[in-house]
Every structure is written in structure tokens, then in C-alpha cells.
Chains A and B, each alone.
Chain A
Amino acid sequence: MADNWSFVIAAYGLAAVVLVAYWRFLVRREKELDDASVVRREMRQETGRPEPQAGASRSPSP
């Protein structure tokens, strides 16, 4: 019976593409938000305004 390697490669390839794409989305989004919050923090320090309290606790990236 034919081994159908093309299907195996298709399946693994699809999985790899999807998972890597999602990972890159996460990394990119996290970097955007981290940068944005640094900018916000600096702006707040300049104007002397207090920081708002959000519900979630923010852990610094390791």
C-alpha cells in the first residue's frame, strides 16, 4: 500500500505553519503592548499623574 508521505508532510506542515504563526502573533502582540505600556509609564512620570489600578496583576517578563 502506498505510503502517502505527501499527506503526512501536508499534515505536519500545516500544523507547523499554524502553530508557528500563532506563536509569532503572541510574541509580536506582547512586544507591542509591553512597549506601549513603557511609553505610558514614562509619560505619566513626566506629568506626575498616578497610575490606574487594573484588575490583573502584571508580571514582568522573565
Chain B
Amino acid sequence: MVWKDLLVERRSKETLNALFFFSLLLLFVFQFALGPDRERLAGTLPGLLWLGFILSGLLGLGRTFVVERENDCWEGLLLAPGDKAAIYVGKLAGNLLLMLVVETILLALFGFFFNLDLASVLPALAVVIVLGTVALAAVGTLFAAMTAQVRARELLFPVLLLPVEAPVLLATVKATEAVLLGETLGSVAHWLKLLAAADVVYVAVGVLTFDFVLEA
């Protein structure tokens, strides 16, 4: 597992750079597409933030198994002894870390460019972001393994992931919206409970079914 962690870290650094520039680019595109109308832009900020999270997430998550695939290590993965679920958890943790770093950067950029006061709402925002990201990473890691060997994987991966994540997206955007307006986490408790439930379900399903995905 240590070898796995080192592998994850090495891949993360190259992915991190690319995702950072991608996030910056997204920000510019949002500004160009929606910038002229200042009011409307402000209203859509929670949505834009999560759009940015999920688009960079798609890129990062989709590459979860690229090292194994490109270096012909896939057989090694399939034949590895022991519980395959450990591989899932390892990859999930790596993806989670990667996504949270990218999201932090993106959030900071958002705060800078759109002049948001993030300091006061940061703890509440962090809760929402972590809950949502776990849900994204849990399903993303599972689906990445399933689409790794498919010919049109860049197409199939988002097609599978996005509909499944629709409720998570709804919940996180609604909760973020409330938090950015200064409301308490308690006021969005139902959304948070939904996210927590999603997290539990997705991780559990991932752990339980990964053995079937990585069967030799």
C-alpha cells in the first residue's frame, strides 16, 4: 500500500498542475460568458463554483487508472492478492486529496476574482465541500475503474458519472448558496443529511463491489 501511495503522489503532481491551469481557464470562460451582467453573475456563483469543481473533478477522476493502463500494469492490479477493496480505498483517498486541493485553489481564485468574503463562511463552506467531494470521488473512482479499458472511456466516464451525481450537485449548490449568504449549516440540514447519506452509500457500494470490478 505504501507503494500505491507513492504512485498516487507522483501522478497527482502532474495532474495537479494541469488541473490548476484548467481551473484558471474555467474562471476566465465563466467571466467571458456571464461577466457583462454583474448581478446575474453574483446569483450563479454557487453553481459556477460547483461546475468548476465537477469539471476539474471529471478530468482528475477520469485519470485515476491511467498509470496502470498506460504502463501495462493492469494485469498486476487484477492479480494482486488480498482484498481489492483496499485498492479502492487507496485510490479514493488519493482522489479525495487531489480534488480537495484543486477545489481549495479554485475557491481561492473565485474569492479573488469575484471579491467574495470567504473568511467568515469558510468553516461551513468547508463542511459542504468535503461532503460533496467524497460523493464525487467515491463514485468517480469506481466508474474510472470500470471505464478504464473501454475504448471510448473519455466519453463514457462523464456520461456515467454526471447523472449519478445530479442529486449531489443539487444538494451542494443549494447548501453552498445558503452558506455564502451567511446562513447557518442548520438551515440546510436536510441537504447535508442527503450528502452524508450519499457518501455512506457510495463508499459502501464502492468497497463492496470493487472486487467484482477488478476480477481477473
Asked if A and B touch directly (CB within 8 angstroms), the answer is: no
List the interface of chain A (C-beta within 8 A of B): none
